Structure 1
Amino acid sequence: MSAAKTKAQAFIDENPVAVFSKSYCPYCKATKSLLTELNANFNVMEIDLLDDGPAIQDALEQISGQRTVPNIFIAKKHIGGNSDLQALKKSALPKLLENAGAL
């Protein structure tokens, strides 16, 4: 397993809510805003600020099948991107966050 894939998987495994993001991305900002609004305990990896960011993005594609950001995991389960998270907002998201121990 590559170092980037190991790093990405460890971040997913160690955080109830793991968000892979790019600091300038408006969809990433919307995701972080929604999670903040819900008082969720979440951790963000800003991959555009990391030397190995491109390798982590490649690794995420292997792990989740999704290359774009935000790339969101709750309780180690791949949720998808911002539109997927927003779609869960009123239905399953609060329960998912609660079950992950993130509320």
Structure 2
Amino acid sequence: MSAAKQKAQQIIDNNAVVVFSKSYCPYCHASKTLLNELKAKYYLLELDEVDDGAAIQDALEEITGQRSVPNIFIDHKHIGGNSDLQARRGQLNKLLSAAGAL
């Protein structure tokens, strides 16, 4: 397993909610805004602000089959991207509570 894949998997395993993001991405911004409105506790990694961001993005594609950001995990499960998160808006309080992130 590559170092980047190990790092990505550790972040997913050690945090109830994770958003792999890019600081300039409007879809990422929409996801972070929604989670912030719900007062969710989440781990944020801006892939464009870390040295190994490209390698982590490659690793996330291996893990999830999704290359785009945001790449979101709740309760260690892959949720998908912003449209997937927004589509679950009605269930988010329940999902986040179950994950211990509210």
Q: Which range, TM-score by smaller chain?
A: over 0.9
- 3-state SS of 1:24 partner: coil
Query: What residue number does 1:18 align with?
Result: 18
**CA distance in structure 2 between the partners assigned to 1:51 and 1:42 by the alignment:** 21
Unaligned ranges ≥5, structure 2: none
State the 4+ residue runs in structure 1 displaced beyond 6 angstroms.
none
TM-score normalized by the length of structure 2: 0.98
Percent of paired sites with the same residue: 69
TM-score normalized by the length of structure 1: 0.97
Give how far 1:96 is off.
0.6
- 3-state SS of 1:68 partner: coil
**CA distance in structure 1 between the partners assigned to 2:14 and 2:8 by the alignment:** 10
Query: What residue number does 1:97 align with?
Result: 96
Give how far 1:12 is off.
0.5
Equivalent residues, number: 102
**CA distance in structure 2 between the partners assigned to 1:98 and 1:79 by the alignment:** 15
Give how far 1:50 is off.
1.1
**CA distance in structure 2 between the partners assigned to 1:69 and 1:93 by the alignment:** 19
Query: What residue number does 1:6 align with?
Result: 6
Query: What residue number does 1:75 align with?
Result: 75
Taking only aligned residues, the RMSD between alpha carbons, in angstroms, comes to: 0.5
